[in-house]
A and B are shown apart, each in its own frame.
Chain A
Amino acid sequence: MKIGLEVHVALPTKTKLFCSDSTSETREPNSQICPICVGFPGSRPVLNEEAVRVAKSIAIALNCRVREDISFIRKVYFYPDLPKSFQITQLSESIGSDGFLELEKKRVGIRRIQIEEDPARIIREEGYTLLDFNRSGIPLVEIVTEPDITTEEELREMVFTLRTILHYQGVDVNQEVKTDLNISLAEERVEIKNVTGIKNLIAAAQYEITRQGAIIKKGGVPEKETRSFDAASGTTKTSRKKESEEEYGFIYEPDLTVYDTKNLSENAMRIPTKIAMGLAVKHKANYSTILELIAFDTGALNLINEFEEEFDFKTIIASLEIMKRFGEPANSGVFKEILGLTDQKIDITRDVLKKIKAGDKVEIKKFSEPQIDETIREMLNSDKTIVEKYKKNKNVVNFIVGTISKKYGIQPRDAAARVEGVINKL
């Protein structure tokens, strides 16, 4: 089996790819539009430098060869959501090519990374469509992989790894990612167009693997075709004929020119899987735990880097897990407090967190171990029969454990261990 993907993600820019309209979230349709992104006659595109800069960074993060002189082409096809009836995109003159994505056990080739414009949002109605051009012209990169994925597991890992890398390049990975999926169990390639979201991507792949598998089992051969995924039924079906290369009739985009990308400074290159592995080796810690914490949380990684020298690594990881458990964003100011308290073996409860956030001082009752043991001894002395009873039934000391735990703010399990220790020494 061979799977290749064409993943489309929006670049984190303030303005659109070819015009100065804002890309910010808005509920009002057609409120962020201008003649350029609605394709009005007389208007023309002007390239957004930041989009190229981020695309270059992504290309580097995916180990691509970065093109120093990029240009654009027109891809002609007719659909109501495409304002000019051509999309400005890239092919051989793309920003990135010949890269790869490192998975745990293999590399998935990246054929190409191209910069292109998003069409408008289209709402299908009975007898007409509604169009919102706010989305038209949003800068996208299309990441085209080689058909190197051979199992569903690899597909999942590939998607996860790609998303973490994109997250570290500032891409909003929670947006609806549109993917075209190529799957071939036999010779001919089946393309599933426009699968929206990660869950659907996996579901579409699963369905298609089963479908093609069934055909082969019956002695048939899956046909080369374009299919679409229906999220409601979880199935794929043969879709409208896709334009051929002949029909796209690519030509150079003559309203733009050749752009030099050499002097665009790329983002810091942070590859979360590599970083997690580095930390795991350095601190003899668990790779998966670290990766899970930092994969979609650059803030968590920043905190690790900030406190790595000062605190025990396990304490940092524990503190981050506490933050995560309580849904505290990594950039919140409470981390330092939590880290300090965890370091002193103070249990962070919801109450404690509340106090920290309210700016109240968290009372740290500090007692030495002999002091705690002394209290336990005093309590045992108050009823001489207890030690005898304890040998048959450990529950008789429950009230002592409870009192100690509460008084000294230690875990009941730890308190029970202390009590047992004192009894054994008697």
Chain B
Amino acid sequence: MDDREFKSLLETARIGLTETESETIKNDLEEVINYFNKLDGVECGNVEPAYHPVEIPGIMRKDIPKEFKEKKELLDNTKTHRLYVVGPEV
């Protein structure tokens, strides 16, 4: 992985690193990815990817409104202005 790829990965993940952190993690990353490459040699036959370890039945929810009562507790976690949640400039 070259520096440009690494930098673009950081940007995609919105992760900032200090210079020393950057050096260590980039090296770690290469080591780990090499380790991951071991999977190339593993024969899986015709199996389908297992998105879950066990089968999960697809149960859906009925369309019945139910109010979440603790909205104040929820919004106490954040900064609000005229009932709106305040976020960063775009």
Chain A contributes a number of interface residues (CB within 8 A of B) equal to: 52
Mask of A347-381 contacts with B, CB within 8 angstroms, 1/0: 00000000000000000000000000000000000
Residues of B within 8 A of A30 (CB): 71, 75, 80, 83-85
Given A49-B61, A259-B58, A259-B60, answer yes or no on A29-B90 (Cβ-Cβ < 8 Å): no
- Give the size range of B's interface with the partner: 20 to 34
Minimum distance in angstroms from A248 CB to a CB of chain B: 9
Q: Which residue of B is nearest A54, CB measured?
A: B63
Residues of B within 8 A of A108 (CB): none
Residues of B within 8 A of A15 (CB): 61, 63-66
Residue with the highest number of chain B CB atoms closer than 10 Å, among A124, A126, A131, A249: A131
Check if A78 is an interface residue, CB within 8 A of chain B. Answer: yes
- Interface positions, chain A 1-33, Cβ under 8 Å from B, are 13-15, 19-22, 24, 28-33
Check if B32 is an interface residue, CB within 8 A of chain A. Answer: no
* A50–B63 CB distance below 8 A: yes
Choice from A123, A124, A129, A260 contacting B58 with Cβ under 8 Å: A260
* B84–A130 CB distance below 8 A: yes
Q: For the complex, what is the distance from the CA of A46 to the CA of B60, rounded to whole Å? A: 7
Q: Which residue of B is nearest A81, CB measured?
A: B87
Residues of A within 8 A of B77 (CB): 40
* A122–B90 CB distance below 8 A: yes
Q: Which residue of B is nearest A139, CB measured?
A: B63
Check if B81 is an interface residue, CB within 8 A of chain A. Answer: yes
Check if B88 is an interface residue, CB within 8 A of chain A. Answer: yes
Minimum distance in angstroms from B83 CB to a CB of chain A: 4
Q: Which residue of A is nearest B81, CB measured?
A: A130
Choice from A35, A125, A128 contacting B68 with Cβ under 8 Å: A35
* A33–B74 CB distance below 8 A: yes
Check if B35 is an interface residue, CB within 8 A of chain A. Answer: no
Q: Which residue of B is nearest A21, CB measured?
A: B68
Check if B89 is an interface residue, CB within 8 A of chain A. Answer: yes
* A128–B65 CB distance below 8 A: no
* B60–A80 CB distance below 8 A: no
Check if A132 is an interface residue, CB within 8 A of chain B. Answer: yes
Residues of B within 8 A of A396 (CB): none
Check if A306 is an interface residue, CB within 8 A of chain B. Answer: no
Check if B12 is an interface residue, CB within 8 A of chain A. Answer: yes
Interface locus among B22-30, B37-45, B49-57 = B49-57
* A14–B64 CB distance below 8 A: yes
Residue with the highest number of chain A CB atoms closer than 10 Å, among B56, B61, B88, B89: B61
Residues of A within 8 A of B90 (CB): 79-80, 122, 124, 129
Q: Which residue of B is nearest A16, CB measured?
A: B65
Minimum distance in angstroms from B57 CB to a CB of chain A: 7
Choice from B12, B14, B64, B89 contacting A129 with Cβ under 8 Å: B89
Check if A327 is an interface residue, CB within 8 A of chain B. Answer: no
Given A30-B80, A48-B60, answer yes or no on A129-B74 (Cβ-Cβ < 8 Å): no
* B74–A35 CB distance below 8 A: yes
Q: Which residue of A is nearest B57, CB measured?
A: A257
* A22–B75 CB distance below 8 A: no
Minimum distance in angstroms from B5 CB to a CB of chain A: 10
* B71–A33 CB distance below 8 A: yes
Check if A153 is an interface residue, CB within 8 A of chain B. Answer: no
Given A15-B65, A80-B90, answer yes or no on A123-B74 (Cβ-Cβ < 8 Å): no
5 cross-chain pairs, A with B, having the tightest CB-CB distances, nearest first? A34-B68, A50-B63, A259-B58, A49-B60, A130-B84
Given contacts A20-B68, A80-B88, 6 further A-B contacts (CB under 8 A): A15-B65, A19-B68, A30-B80, A34-B74, A129-B86, A257-B58
Can you name 8 A-B pairs with beta carbons within 8 Å? A30-B75, A49-B61, A49-B62, A52-B60, A71-B51, A122-B90, A129-B86, A132-B84
